[in-house]
Amino acid sequence: MRKIILPVILLILFFACSKDNKEDLCKYVNPFIGTAYTGHTFPGACAPFGLIQASPETGNDSWRYCAGYNIEDDSIMGFAQTHISGTGCPDLGDLLMFPFCGEVKNGIYKSAYDQATQKASPGYYAVSLTDAGVDVEITASERTAFYRYTFTGKGKSRMLLDMQSGIVWNQEALRTHVLGSEIEMPDNKTITGHQHVQNWVERHYFFVMEFDKAYEICEVLESQEGEKAKRYILEFDMPEGETLMVKIAISTVGVDGAKASLLKESPGWDFNAVYNRTRARWNDLLSRSVIEGTHEQKVNFYTSLYHLYIQPTNIADTDGNYRGADDGVKKSALGKYYSTLSLWDTYRAAHPLYTILTPEIVNDVVNTMLAHYDAAGQLPIWTLWGKESYTMVGNHSVPVIVDAYLKGFDGFDAEKAFHAIKESLTKSHKNSDWKTYMSYGYYPFDIIPRESVSKTLESVYDDYAAAEMAKAMGKECDAQYFEQRAGFYKNLFDKGTLLMRGKDSQGNWREPFHPYRYSHAGTHGGDYTEGNAWQYTWHVQHDIDGLIQLMGDKELFAAKLDTLFGKEVDSTITGDVLDVTGLIGQYAHGNEPCHHVAYLYNWTDKRYRTQELIREIVDKFYQPRPDGLCGNDDCGQMSAWYLFSAMGFYPVNPVGGEYIIGAPQVAKTVLTLPDGKTFIIKAEGLSEKNKYVSKVTLNGQEIEDFKIYHEDIMDGGNLIFTMSDRY
């Protein structure tokens, strides 16, 4: 019997191991994508949704360095512990370290680096600093950064610890953004401290830094006028070729919280163990979406997933404590409090994608929003480290909460959520003047001089979302009130130009009207947010049929879309706004208000144009190279557009629970869902020639309206696209 039993046992073990032995999808992730041009991503090490993003910095004092790094630069100035992925505003860059041997050149603390040695993958970064004579490796857990420095050069092993550094708008801010700094050195292997800083937002952070070898302070660099923090030169008694290990933990609450994170997430000095745990977590998330395609497609797809999962960031300590919007310390019962909520961008596709791929974070995100409401008096608009920045327009926590509620997420208090929505949409605050909005049915440009059209249109969508939640909860009066407001977009539609146009408090249209002129609140003023009239006219995600009626009929609607994608105008007419990029005619894929527009041909008889445009956008603006993104990745929204579109559908109306069919760009996608379910998407016959969808079926039933619904995906099944050369 033993001869029979043993092979059976080995066979069982083989299949058990094979089941768990999934492909290492991290090998397809290229963190350098987006690190040139305007992508504003960083290549360093981080864990999914983690507080820490330990990454190199090549600059920190301009829009070019919103993430602290640009691969086109030839030197590195150090390694900081916190960064934001893909935004158009700079901040963070905390606790900069620069290791070096001997003396620096010309008193400048930076080093050339060997591009051939620079490597990055999920949870790992490495580079050789040639001038400094140091080989650097970085990994990270959710709240800790872990460094392995090998000193290969001549002279003493040293490190600059720059407490004044940070990622800011300009050189002057480098001197003034630190409001307070407290440092303690309890022993010769530990440094702790607290920094009070202000750039995009005002915030506090606490840290503990541990070394595996003793240090001594050999110099404190001279401070410049206005600086509140120190720059220390630390020296380590180490022979050439020796390795120095450094661990850093950060907390929004206190030093004790940072110490607890080190103890829990990075005990001891096993660099590889921390890296392996983080890489396993990345693989777990990446493997929920398995595709068949070319190597290039896999790099684009899994790098997009990686960028999607960097944020939102959990800023709570291991015990659930966090510092909230009112600067008070509170405790999250579930141990999660999410920030880096770039909601003007991410409500469109990133958050709907989280409801499919990472549903476990959705309730926590909503509960975070409600806790923010308790502290700040309104729902989040754009939060960083728990603090409200009031960046961008609209109140787009609203559609995120409503989408979660309508999709059946019930881990939050729905009554409280609707109360918070109603208060945020009726009680005026810095971002929204509801009295003016309700008095005129729009924001008049002579009362609201900046972004009046965009503020109206973005607010209208939030109103629609509020009405949908009110309906679902049986709140008829509230539903009627917000439904009326959801139609305010009609008040700014100019039937003469068939465009959304600024109007003053007397009902007069903006004159002179420059429909191609870009607006930007910070630099150009105007009636639109980082765009022009052509781009914002389509911002009626909830009522495309209503917009078609305003334009006349679906033929005229299609003709207007044709002009949008075909009309090229030079910068002498448009002006130049950094955020308006990725142009096809007047369509700007590099900025989010356009992201749904290519799908609008599905409301006309020219559905093939949606499919052509998706292929064109993917081919032009998602390239697997550092300059391969046409605009800021914006905390995963650019990536989310690609992921949805590559699979073959997109949430034109993020709250509607429906996805509009486009054209799949990969041959097959398998989504692993909760409860062991899978949703399989196949593009039969997909090729360069056969790139149009002639038929689509769901579980054998043809879908004639080219829509699928959230429950169709989450119930599992098979979505089959039949591809042809035209239909």
For 354-372, what is each residue's pLDDT tens digit? 999 999 999 999 999 999 9
pLDDT value for 525: 83
What residue type is assigned to position 39 of the chain? G
Judge contact between 337 and 143, C-beta under 8 A. Answer: no
What does the pLDDT look like over 420-455, one tens digit per residue?
999 999 999 998 999 999 999 999 999 999 999 999
Using CA atoms, how far apart are residues 156 and 102, in angstroms rounded to an integer? 5
CA atoms lying within 13 Å on the CB side of residue 694: 11
Burial 165-179, CB ≥16 within 10 A → b, else e: bbbbbeeebbbebbe
Sorting pLDDT into bands at 50, 70 and 90, what band is 522? confident
Using CA atoms, how far apart are residues 498 and 60, in angstroms rounded to an integer? 43
Residue 482: CB partners within 8 Å, gap ≥ 6? 425, 463, 464, 466, 467, 470
Q: Is the pLDDT of residue 648 over 60?
A: yes
Using CA atoms, how far apart are residues 91 and 60, in angstroms rounded to an integer? 9
Integer distance in angstroms from the first to the last C-alpha of the chain? 63
Give the tokens for residue 150. Answer: 């090998």
C-alpha dist (Å) from residue 618 to 25, 40, 581, 681:
21, 19, 14, 18
Q: Per DSSP, which regions of 617-667 are E strands?
A: 649-650, 658-661
Q: Is the pLDDT of residue 722 over 70?
A: yes
Using CA atoms, how far apart are residues 280 and 687, in angstroms rounded to an integer? 34
Domains of the chain (ranges; CATH) run: 25-286 (2.70.98.10)
pLDDT value for 21: 61
Judge contact between 381 and 389, C-beta under 8 A. Answer: yes
Cis before residue 399, ω within 30 degrees of 0? no
Most distant CA atoms of the chain, gap in Å: 95
Using CA atoms, how far apart are residues 286 and 306, in angstroms rounded to an integer? 7
How confident is the model over 502-517, as a mean pLDDT? 97
What is the sign of the dihedral through the CA atoms of 554, 694, 620 and 282? positive
Q: Which letter does DSSP use for residue 84 in this model?
A: -
What residue type is assigned to position 268 of the chain? G
Nearest C-alpha neighbor of 259 from the set 244, 271, 247, 274: 247
Nearest C-alpha neighbor of 314 from the set 375, 252, 371: 252
Classify residue 716 by burial, with Cβ atoms within 10 Å: 0-12, 13-18, 19+: middle
Give the tokens for residue 322. Answer: 């966090």
Using CA atoms, how far apart are residues 610 and 665, in angstroms rounded to an integer? 13
Q: Which letter does DSSP use for residue 300 in this model?
A: H
How confident is the model over 471-485, as a mean pLDDT? 98
Judge contact between 100 and 159, C-beta under 8 A. Answer: yes
Using CA atoms, how far apart are residues 207 and 59, in angstroms rounded to an integer? 23
What residue type is assigned to position 281 of the chain? R
Q: Per DSSP, which regions of 43-93 are E strands?
A: 45-46, 53-57, 75-76, 78-80
Judge contact between 367 and 330, C-beta under 8 A. Answer: no
What residue type is assigned to position 356 of the chain? I
Using CA atoms, how far apart are residues 200 and 186, in angstroms rounded to an integer? 32
Sorting pLDDT into bands at 50, 70 and 90, what band is 517? very high
Give the tokens for residue 708. Answer: 């699928």
C-alpha dist (Å) from residue 66 to 39, 70, 158, 170:
10, 9, 28, 11
CA angle 90–96–100, rounded 5-degree value: 135
Using CA atoms, how far apart are residues 569 and 129, in angstroms rounded to an integer? 45
pLDDT value for 3: 32
What does the pLDDT look like over 11-39, one tens digit per residue?
233 333 334 568 999 999 999 999 999 99
Give the tokens for residue 18. Answer: 């094979």
Of 10-24, 77-91, 119-133, 564-578, the least confident: 10-24
Judge contact between 78 and 96, C-beta under 8 A. Answer: yes
Location of structure tokens 């080219």: 706
**Helices marked H in 603-636 — which ranges?**
607-621
Classify residue 415 by burial, with Cβ atoms within 10 Å: 0-12, 13-18, 19+: exposed
Q: Which letter does DSSP use for residue 381 in this model?
A: S
pLDDT value for 579: 86
How confident is the model over 92-102, as a mean pLDDT? 98
Question: What 3-state class would DSSP assign to 36?
Answer: coil
Give the whole-number percent of the chain exceeding pLDDT 70: 97
Nearest C-alpha neighbor of 532 from the set 489, 575, 495: 575
Dihedral (Cα; 116, 119, 125, 128), 10-degree rounding: -10
- For 333, other C-beta atoms within 10 Å of its C-beta total 7
Sorting pLDDT into bands at 50, 70 and 90, what band is 322? very high
Q: Is the pLDDT of residue 726 over 90?
A: no
Q: Which letter does DSSP use for residue 509 in this model?
A: B
pLDDT value for 359: 98
Q: Which letter does DSSP use for residue 117 in this model?
A: G
3-state SS, one letter per residue, for 190-221: EEEEEEEEECCCEEEEEEEEEECCCEEEEEEC
Using CA atoms, how far apart are residues 340 and 334, in angstroms rounded to an integer? 19
Location of structure tokens 């440009």: 445
Q: Is the pLDDT of residue 482 over 50?
A: yes
Q: Is the pLDDT of residue 524 over 90?
A: no
Using CA atoms, how far apart are residues 50 and 141, in angstroms rounded to an integer? 7
Q: Is the pLDDT of residue 65 over 80?
A: yes
Question: What 3-state class would DSSP assign to 29?
Answer: coil
Judge contact between 297 and 619, C-beta under 8 A. Answer: no
* Average pLDDT score, the chain: 95
Give the tokens for residue 304. Answer: 């997009």
Judge contact between 523 and 548, C-beta under 8 A. Answer: no
